[in-house]
Structure 1
């Protein structure tokens, strides 16, 4: 059976259990007559989307339409959107799990099913980011606060997904877990990828996974930008690997745009914004990213940009923030910044 045939059959079988599917994946809605009413296909609260629960007059069960934006589809689309999936096989596997059907044996040749949106594409990243919500009042905000990180309410790069799809790459088992979603963008603010950090549902930090953090999309040259105002010049910035490290610097220097490149290799290839004249590079005490720091410093010098390395007292700047406190971290940084930048970005005192 082709993947299109598989999709048709799965959608039909899901339609036979349309109400149960809606209760599982569109839990913010409710039944009204022969329809399930909800805000949208991503499980927002509201009434603009309705799902037909039983076939009527030749119209199949499980079909839905959103009156507000004109979107329409079937229950496979509901599973895809509500779970934040990006590949057809992931959607099919989740549908089979719900229907208690055996997992499909996908071919490994070049004839294997192709997803509508390729894994790792910027489009997939933008879709998942759009499915997510602002972090205020969520488990993601609680996770960051637990690490001492307090960001401006207007921060748009970080979001929260309550049930982000996770696949164990060894066993193939899947589950949905809450996740911090961080947009990877170019300096003009266009999303090219993202990073998912899966969280413990009980609020105890990251989820207990072998790899609780994964990225997708086009990362090279781009970064998770915090404190970035697209369109404004960025004469001074800071760059480093991890989002928690850079968010810690932003906590004590909220006016300083910072870029988390997600890895040492991506740090080495980070693109500088036009007009940048000064970049601070955040180091870890273990020097695991020494190559990235050295390469970025070299590229900065070649571009006529002054590069200075900021060093933490403990393992990284988030360790400093959590264990020493923001006032101590600010004082520590003041001796490493150019005096003009210290006056501009650090709180007085």
Structure 2
């Protein structure tokens, strides 16, 4: 198969690489991380001006009709730049659900300004007892007059502190999975913010007798749309991890070439050469699996989820391996904030836990193979 990029896709990749080099230096990234939650980001506005916010969505909902390869190019560039902007959590995941489930009025209210960069959203699906099972949740949604009442807790909601509204999954009385738009200022919604190990801002939410109007309901049977959206998110994460792994490998190799011991560059030692080869083998295999995930998005649900689970499992293992090797080959300084490879390492470790870790996806792959045997 031909996996080469088109001329337009190469131009997109080159534009993104230049943008990351100009706008996301280590110092600029630190400034972004220290900005108050909800502050209007100049880089996010640049994304909007370049059409990057419209790219992953179909023309029917106001997007540019980009495919999985276009999203892969964007996510790889964001991974290489270690960009802290919530492109996946604040745009792709909630936007995809709005595109799939929202009616014309709901898309006009929430999706159109999202694509224009006027606000951001967040997806609240994960719960403590359910772990990575998006369907085994305990948050409930019950009819309350002409509207709805939501009760429950959500965990590890990325970008909630900057979101104008959260898309919240809840179990209905008949057992189906509903999806609701909960504005950030809704009475009864409380939020506990914290930083994850890779400096991302996440939140735990408590929904205490939240009252919503009927038009806040995006869907009363959202399970299939949520599965498809999470599959898209996992494919995007694999691409982002490949970008971060590329830089971690390159920075480690550069360090081994510069650092000298007994008058000899560390890169001349054969044992260290072997470890660098192992890092690059994991990188290239992860790249192949990321391409597999991207090209599987249009398949039937079961085959799509199986392939993307296999890709996420391998990319998670490769990300952790490269992170550990990068730290070890840098020595003690690799653990310091001043050594930039440590930030890539933390991001790669966190990647494994977002939208399902290695163990979760290996179990899914194993169950799939047993069922088809």
TM (norm. structure 1) is 0.27
Higher relative contact order (CA 8 A, sep 6+): 2
The structure that has the greater radius of gyration is: 1
TM (norm. structure 2) is 0.25
Whose helix proportion is higher, 1 or 2? 2
